[in-house]
Amino acid sequence: MLAAVLVAAGCGDGTEDAASTTTAAAGNATSTTAVADAPVPKELRFTAQTIDGAEFSGASLAGKKAVLWFWAPWCPTCQREAPGVAAAAAAHPDVEFVGVAARDELPAMRAFADEHGLTFTQIADLDGTVWQRFGVTAQPAFAFVSKFSDIDMVPGSLSEDEIATQIKALG
């Protein structure tokens, strides 16, 4: 059933904006650096394979500022957005970026990441379970994780400047 929902959702049209941000989880730590004892929200309780075959634990993002970018290799909006996401990742070395690729096969995911210079971690969400965990039904979408493990979901496309604004809001 999930596969049918994901396929039916198609490529997002990018009309959503940062104003439609919703909070998906909340934490209560108060440090100004990475929070070692940050709660691990349910969204981050997953283990997945990267496009290179390494194991990745979502819980490793708890207590850190992070950006998860949900994309698909064939999505024209994702293709246009990829250079800006790569530039935002390079401009914010203090933030962990993670791509979450789905809706295609592993070779296409690897080719997309190589073509667009995505040097940060890329998850191969072949069965859509990570997308489902975050409630993502259309790509692109973003999850911004604060060092307190708060998660703000932003559906649709974001420019490099909009990504920077969202990161600044993480504290």
Rounded Cα gap, residues 144 and 152, in angstroms: 5
Which strand (E) or helix (H) includes residue 39? none
pLDDT at 62 over 50: yes
Q: Which whole number is the average pLDDT over 16-43?
A: 49
Contact indicator for 51, 122 with CB cutoff of 8 Å: yes
Rounded Cα gap, residues 101 and 32, in angstroms: 31
Q: Is the dihedral of CA 78, 79, 81, 82 positive or negative?
A: positive
Rounded Cα gap, residues 37 and 14, in angstroms: 36
pLDDT at 152: 96
Q: Say which residues have a Cβ less than 8 Å from residue 161's Cβ, sequence separation at least 6.
A: none
pLDDT at 35: 55
pLDDT at 159: 96
pTM (predicted TM-score): 0.80
Partner residues linked to 61 by β-bridges: none
Question: Coil, strand or helix: which one is 108?
Answer: helix
